[in-house]
Amino acid sequence: MNIFKLPDLGEGLQEAEIVEWHVKAGDEIKADQPLVAVETAKAIVEIPSPQAGRIAKLYGNKGDIVHLGAALVGFEGEGSAADAGTVVGRIEASEHVVREGPPSFAAPTGARVGTMAVRATPAVRALARTLDIDLTMIMPTGPDGVVTASDVERTAKLLAELGPPETLRGVRRAMAQNMAQAQSEVAAATVIDDADIDAWEPGADVTIRLIRALVAGCRAQPGLNAWFDGRTARRRVLAKIDVGIAVDLPDGLFVPVLRDVANRDAQDLRAGLDRMRADMKARKIPPEEMRGNTITLSNFGMIAGKYAAPIVVPPTVAILGAGRVHDAVVVHEGKPAVHAILPLSLTFDHRVVTGGEAARFLAAVIGNLEMAA
């Protein structure tokens, strides 16, 4: 049997969830005919057949999570495993499909979550396994912080009343994995300040002004428009500014990438943003538009909040957050006045960005925002 494995669907995408099969065992199909629709952390992707032939076996059902390089379809006939795209690195052939197992978002080996490990007797640990209870979720009541059998039973009763847990999938699954990686790897620090935007014309496009200001920050301090590989301690300062725009949708957090923002005018940037948002709502955004950002912008103030500590996701080293525009009393020409204020929060990876560099970046952003146009 000729095995077709799940191909590389884009940078960083290690798994996909089967949404719908377009074929069944026994079907005679043509090359490039749609085989299956899969959902990744970034989009719903249609995978075409790499060859013509008869389907012998489908590996996985709707809702199954298939890992990169795992068997997807078996074709009748002899031959080596088929592939519909370049798979990065050498991947051993596998027919393993993960069905409902929850993802692991634990810290890397050697890291410790919190200040101390969970303390419990072997009997209590066995009880927790039997009741499917994570000991780290339990507030211990025993001496010296020891988890007791009563603690496990109390937690099990509470969780039973809450109903079955929801397995994270798609975008939310990827968000959990990315945030866990960022939390365990990045040495994050945040600096905050305000921009007085009272000189803006009514109806100004806040997001476009923020992108323009971010470009000014990158020009003042190019080291924040960079990628950093913590394993090799290598930094790449990038000339082109590709901004990841954090977008909140019901399915979860999306970060589409607006390319080469320094060389595009406001009208072109707005058209690009509108098109990407429409594609995201339809879950049809191309995977290449969801990867490769060099710095990130989060305009969370469109919903609520003044300041935040946004999360830097490797390999990027900085994210600029914009809070809610509000009126505040300021000193203007020696007198109190009410001006429109835009709060700003800049989180940076302190492994490679100094506090001075971050502050100079933010100063350049503020200087640009405070211009009338």
**Domain termination residue (choose one: 143, 167, 191):** 167
Domain count, the chain: 3
For 336, other C-beta atoms within 10 Å of its C-beta total 8
Q: Considering the chain, what is the average pLDDT of its residues?
A: 84
Same-domain pairing of 190 and 226: yes
Write out the two tokens for 150. 């009563």
What is the CATH classification number for the domain harbouring 326? 3.30.559.10
Q: 210 and 335: one domain?
A: yes
**Residue 220 confidence (pLDDT):** 97
Check whether residue 332 and residue 295 sit in a common domain: yes
147 and 197 inside one domain: no
- Residues 178, 317 share a domain: yes
Rg (CA), the chain: 25
φ, ψ for residue 182 (rounded to 5)? -65, -45
Q: How far apart are CA 195 and CA 330, in angstroms?
A: 11
pLDDT of 57 reads 92
Is there a contact between 258 and 291 (Cβ–Cβ < 8 Å)?
no
Specify the pTM: 0.66
Same domain, 134 and 258: no
Do residues 88 and 134 both lie within one domain? no
Whether residues 183 and 323 fall in one domain = yes
Question: Which of 122, 245, 200 is CA-nearest to residue 373?
Answer: 200
* The pLDDT value given to residue 13: 66
* Pair (232, 262) in one structural domain: yes
pLDDT band at 100 (very low <50, low <70, confident <90, very high): very low
Q: What is the pLDDT of residues 252-285, one digit of tens each?
A: 777 889 999 999 999 999 999 999 888 887 777 7
Please tell me whether residues 295 and 237 are part of one structural domain.
yes
CATH number for the domain spanning 131: value is 4.10.320.10
Same domain, 261 and 336: yes
Pick from 9, 2, 20, 7: nearest CA to 42: 9
Q: Locate 9 and state its tokens.
A: 């669907």
Q: Which tokens go with 318?
A: 């900085």
Range of the domain at 154: 104-167
CATH of the domain at 19: 2.40.50.100
